[in-house]
Amino acid sequence: MKHLKTINQIIAIILVLFLISCSGSGNKTKQANTATSVQEKSEPVKINPEAQMLLKYLEETGDYVNSRNFPSLIKASSVNEELAGNIKIIDLRNSGAFSKGHIKGAVNIDFSQIPNYFTNVIKPFEFNKIVMVCYDGQISSYATSLLRLMGYGNVYALRWGMSSWNKEFAKDSWFYNVSSKYEDKLELTENERAVSADLPLMNTGKLTGAEIMAERFKILFAAGSSDIFITADEIFEQPQNYYTINYDRKDKYDSGHIPGAVRYKPNGTLGIISEMETIPADKNVIVYCGTGHNSGFATAYLRLFCYNAKTLIYGNNAFMHDKMVTDKTKLSWLPFTDAEVGDFPYVKN
C-alpha cells in the first residue's frame, strides 16, 4: 500500500507539472501573437504642417469640395436667360478665338491674369454670377475650382464651354475630339490603392492656412493652363507611367475603365486625409471622369496641394464615346451629342 501511495503521489505531481506547462505555453503563444499583431499594424501617417494648415483652413471656410455646390457648373441655356441680368462673362480663350465669336458682353482675360482681374479690376461680389468660359469647359472648370476655393462663391464654369453655345464652336472642339478609339482596351479588374503616405510638401514658408492658400492660388494661375491636361493617347500608350484616378460612380468604373485605374469616390475623397494619403505624392497623377469637368475641379484641388496632377481632357468621351451613348440610360452617362449644343447668338469683333 505504501508503494502504491508513492506511485499515486508521483502521478499527481506529473499531472500538476503538465497542466502548468500547458498553461504557460498557451500564455506565451497568445503574447507572441499579440506582439506580432502590434508589429504588423502600420504606423499612422504624419501629415506635414503646411498641408495640415491648408486642409484645416479649407474645412473652416466651407469645405467646398464636399458641398452640394461642387462642381459649380452652369448650362448655356441658363446663361442665355440671365444675360440681361447682373452677370459677368469671362472668356478664357485666346484673343483670336474670342474675336471670331463670343457671348455678348463677355470680356477676354488671359488665364494667368485672373487673380489680378478679380483683385484689382472688378468687385466680384457685386455680380450675381460670374461665368468662366473656354473652348470646351475644361480650362474653365479648373479655374472655377480655384476661384471657389479662394472664396469667390458666385463663380461658375460653362458646361461644355462655347461648344454648348453654338454649333460653330462645337465642330472644332467637342465634336472633333470625341472618340471610341480605346473601347476594346478597357479593364474590368478592380485595382488597389497605393500605400498611405504623407501629402506633398508645399514649402511656401507661409504661417497660416489663409496665407498658404493665397500663395498657392497665385502660383497656379501664374503657371498657366497648358500643363494641366493629358490626352487619352498618352495614357493608353503607357498606363503604367501614371497613378490614374477614376473619379466616378462604382457602376461606371465596373463597366470598364482605363487599365490600372483606381476608383476614388466623388464627394468622398478631397479634403479627407485618410483618402488623400493614398494618392502618391511622388507619381504623375491622372484624374478622369465622364466629361472632364468634374476631374478638372478635382485636379485643381490636388494641384493646390502640390500633387503632380493632370485631368484627362474630355474624360471618357475621349476614348469610349460609343459605349457611353449605348449605355447612356443604364449608367447615366453624359456623352457629348447634338442635344448638348444650343443655337444661341454670338457677336464678333
pLDDT band at 44 (very low <50, low <70, confident <90, very high): confident
Helices (H) and strands (E) in the chain, counts: 15, 10
**Do 99 and 228 sit in the same domain of this protein?**
no
Burial grade of 331 (CB within 10 A; 0-12, 13-18, 19 or more): middle
Contact between 111 and 225 under an 8 Å Cβ cutoff? The reply is yes
pLDDT band at 27 (very low <50, low <70, confident <90, very high): very low
Output the pLDDT for position 33: 41
Contact between 92 and 138 under an 8 Å Cβ cutoff? The reply is no
CATH code, 312: 3.40.250.10
Please give the Cα distance from 98 to 112 (Å, whole number).
17
Neighbours of 340 (CB within 10 A): 17
Which residue range(s) make up the domain with 299? 183-331
**Do 226 and 295 sit in the same domain of this protein?**
yes
**Do 231 and 268 sit in the same domain of this protein?**
yes
Query: What's this model's pTM, rounded to 2 decimal places?
Result: 0.87
Is the residue at 15 inside a domain? no
Is the residue at 43 inside a domain? no
**Do 121 and 237 sit in the same domain of this protein?**
no
3-state secondary structure of 310: strand
Please give the Cα distance from 12 to 88 (Å, whole number).
96
| Domain boundary, last residue among 128, 145, 177 | 177
Is the residue at 7 inside a domain? no
Indicate whether 139 pLDDT > 50.
yes
The DSSP result for 247-293, as a single string, is -S-HHHHHT-B-TT-EE--TTSSTT-HHHHTTS-TTS-EEEE-SSSH
For the chain, what is the domain count?
2
- Give me the mean pLDDT over the 41-69 stretch: 92
Output the pLDDT for position 1: 43
Is the residue at 41 inside a domain? no
Q: Are strands 262-263 and 229-230 parallel, antiparallel or unpaired?
A: unpaired
| Domain boundary, last residue among 157, 177, 197 | 177
